[in-house]
Structure 1
Amino acid sequence: MVSHNNTEGLNVPITDINGRLYSPSAYRNSSVIIELITKFIPNSGKALEIASGTGQHIIQLGSKFKDIIWQPSDLDKERIKSINYWLSDNYTKNIKPPCHLNATKEGWSRKFPNQKFILIINLLHLISLKDTKVLLNEIFSALAPNGFLIIYGPFMRNGKLTSKGDIDFHTSIRKRNNTLGYKNDVSLLKLVSKLGFLNVKTIEMPANNLGFIIQKTSNY
């Protein structure tokens, strides 16, 4: 049964005794995210996780998909430190050291060419629509032909918030910055289509989240 109270974004990471940031929501959703991407991740090649956060996801991904070379990234220095702590405690040779990346800044894709797989978890509601457009343009440039972009997080359905938890969370984000908040699923799909992406599948996920399976077509 799907819960209709999205509280994932309300979880504030804590620091454990080893200096690692720990997010309860990242712990809870790791298994469903792995299940989401399993059918679409390539057998080998380069993969980029944008806004890796605490580092909990990248450890799970590297352990599960050992033939993929994973590149974690984040904008925040404390989160990069946390990712390094997680890596030092869970050595996985197919995970590169985390890099500083402002994924809403034009031009970053030149440093990350020919990615076969890009993953975004719980980010789009925390950036503006303008920044979302830059992000998706850069992802399109970074992806190899037929590469996949997976987006996971909370979204409006056809312009509407569908649960009290989502309404409360969206409202709290907008109070801090009125350019942020949940994106409309329909608008997102129109945007990626204009860029040349193919929306392979949209999947309902636990806690009223959505998973978007998006592919860069070989014609671009």
Structure 2
Amino acid sequence: MPGDGAPADKRHAPATLRNRDAIVAVLADWLPEAGTVLEVASGSGEHAIHFAAAFPGLDWQPSDPDPAGLGSIAAYRAEAGLANIAQPVALDAAGAKWPVDHADAILCINMVHISPWDATLGLFAGAARLLAPGTPLILYGPYIEPDVPTAESNLAFDTSLRSRNPAWGLRDTDAVKVVAADADFVFAERRAMPANNLMLLFRRT
């Protein structure tokens, strides 16, 4: 469970400052106007706070499997004082049961490549339980696309990830689309993002 939101619990992920506004620009097109957004693997919580401020008409539910991450999210939440962001919940994407039973959208940033493949399988399975037809599951991060040359920096990143943990690594977008289809999601849109990242939109069928 998260702590009391002490400032000392705050973590900082430098990439969030660089990519958050570009992500907001896409989310403005893809998120519903109202409802609850479940963010899976919220990490430090910096994205969650920024997005909750950018979309005051949406209720933001951050989550993370790491107790230290939950403490950081709680600290940023306490500091921001926003009414539309809930206390973070402990959520393992690969788990058979999630502590949330409904969402109007799900967002997952930079988890798919820094987790075992079971986490991606679990993400789509969990999203299928929570989302109504037509609602979005949105992914952000670096991927390998079969028909698009992979940037040298992404290839080096993939090698680094696999050296740290053989179960990690950049995923093939076609493989992700197969998992999505098996969970009754349709691939809807791809957006190229700065620093060789992608945003992928799937919708529940």
What is the SS of the residue equivalent to 1:119? strand
| Structure 1 residue 159, shift from structure 2 partner | 7.9
Unaligned regions of 5+ residues in structure 1, if any?
1-16
What is the SS of the residue equivalent to 2:132? strand
| Structure 1 residue 145, shift from structure 2 partner | 2.3
Choose 187-196 or 86-95, whichever is displaced more: 187-196
| Structure 1 residue 18, shift from structure 2 partner | 4.9
Counterparts of 1:144 and 1:46 in 2: how far apart (Å)?
A: 12
Counterparts of 2:122 and 2:47 in 1: how far apart (Å)?
A: 24
RMSD: 1.6
Counterparts of 2:11 and 2:27 in 1: how far apart (Å)?
A: 24
Which fold has the larger relative contact order, with Cα–Cα distance below 8 Å and residues 6 or more apart in sequence?
A: 1
Q: 1:20 aligns with which of 2, 5, 10?
A: 10
What is the SS of the residue equivalent to 1:107? coil
Equivalent in the alignment of 1:199: 187
Counterparts of 2:149 and 2:118 in 1: how far apart (Å)?
A: 21
Equivalent in the alignment of 2:159: 171
Unaligned regions of 5+ residues in structure 2, if any?
1-6
| Structure 1 residue 67, shift from structure 2 partner | 1.6
One-letter code aligned to 1:127: S
Equivalent in the alignment of 2:3: none
Equivalent in the alignment of 1:68: 58
Equivalent in the alignment of 2:23: 33
Residue 126 (str. 1) matches residue 114 (str. 2): yes
One-letter code aligned to 2:40: I
Matched length: 199
Percentage of pairs with the same residue: 30
Equivalent in the alignment of 1:154: 142
Equivalent in the alignment of 1:100: 90
One-letter code aligned to 1:37: L
Counterparts of 1:46 and 1:33 in 2: how far apart (Å)?
A: 18
TM-score by length of 2: 0.91
Counterparts of 2:97 and 2:90 in 1: how far apart (Å)?
A: 14
Q: Deviations over 1:125-157 (max 9, x none)?
A: 012223311221111111122211110000011
Q: Is the 8 A contact 2:38 2:61 kept in 1?
A: yes
Q: 2:81 aligns with which of 91, 97, 104?
A: 91
Counterparts of 1:168 and 1:161 in 2: how far apart (Å)?
A: 14
Q: Is the 8 A contact 1:161 1:167 kept in 2?
A: no
One-letter code aligned to 1:93: A
TM-score by length of 1: 0.85
Residue 113 (str. 1) matches residue 113 (str. 2): no
Counterparts of 1:84 and 1:112 in 2: how far apart (Å)?
A: 17
One-letter code aligned to 2:122: V
Counterparts of 2:72 and 2:118 in 1: how far apart (Å)?
A: 29
What is the SS of the residue equivalent to 2:104? strand
Residue 53 (str. 1) matches residue 43 (str. 2): yes
Choose 118-127 or 139-148, whichever is displaced more: 139-148
